[in-house]
Amino acid sequence: MNDLQLMLARSEAAERERDLQRRLARRRHATALDAASRGRRKGSWDRALALFQGRPARAPH
């Protein structure tokens, strides 16, 4: 394998690694956002239900 082929192989490997890291980060970010929005929806529903039943709701954050 000559130097040019070696450089090309290294650059392709680095590109694959970056792509994989980016996809993993995006998946983690999407999961975190999904959990946050689900928690927010559940929290607002609990507050609305408490107010409807006449109980004081916890302070919204």
Domain limits at 16? 1-61
* Percent of residues, the chain, with pLDDT higher than 70: 67
Cβ within 8 Å of residue 50, ≥6 positions away? 56, 57, 58
| CA dihedral sign of residues 33, 41, 38, 56 | positive
pLDDT at 49: 74
Q: pLDDT (tens digit, 9 = 90+) per residue, 41-52?
A: 666 667 777 777
Q: pLDDT (tens digit, 9 = 90+) per residue, 24-35?
A: 888 877 777 676
Q: How many domains does the chain have?
A: 1
Does residue 24 or residue 40 have the better pLDDT? 24
Most trustworthy range by pLDDT among 17-21, 23-27, 51-55: 17-21
